[in-house]
Amino acid sequence: MELVEIGRVESPLKERGSAPKQGDGGAPDAWLAFEAGFATALDGIAAGDELLLLTWLDRAHRDVLRVHPRGDVSRPEQGVFNTRSPDRPNPIGLHRVTVLAIEGARVQVSGLEALDGTPVIDVKPVLGGIAER
């Protein structure tokens, strides 16, 4: 099960310590720079669309199985599968974003908490108008 990088995040967020926990925590707009060969797979996506973006959180720790939710040590430890911690066996980030602009194989999105340079691994439409982060 080997992932291919379909693109990369371009963001002012450079370090893990500076990133908000979720996209609604003051995350900045960002660009998704897709590999040219995948541009055709973006056909139909338009400004204003809501997307689910899957990323590979390459600075996460894959051997962590339990964490304090949101890093708050006053809260009891939980299994990582009951949290959104980036530290988990397969560090896949799931982000709900809104498309602001499209320029060829570059897509600008709002409120993305992923760090600069994070690999993009998939993009999916939000179904039925139901939202998710």
> Interface with a second copy includes 82 (CB under 8 A)?
yes
In the shown chain, the binding pattern of residues 54 to 73 toward a second copy, with x for contact by CB under 8 A and - for none, equals x-x-x---x--xx-------
At 51, list the tokens. 């997307």
DSSP state, residue 120: E
Nearer to a second copy, 8 or 12 (CB): 8
What are phi and psi for residue 21, nearest 5 degrees? -70, -35
| Residue count, binding to a second copy (CB under 8 A) | 50
Q: Binding a second copy by CB under 8 A: which of 9, 19, 27, 42?
A: 42
Contact 84, 21 (CB under 8 A): yes
Q: Does 102 bind a second copy (CB under 8 A)?
A: no
Q: Decide: 68 and 75 in contact? Cβ < 8 Å.
A: yes
CA distance 84 to 115: 16
**Given the rule CB under 8 A, which residues bind a second copy?**
1-6, 22, 38, 40-45, 49, 51-52, 54, 56, 58, 62, 65-66, 77-84, 88-90, 92, 94, 96, 119, 121-128, 130-133
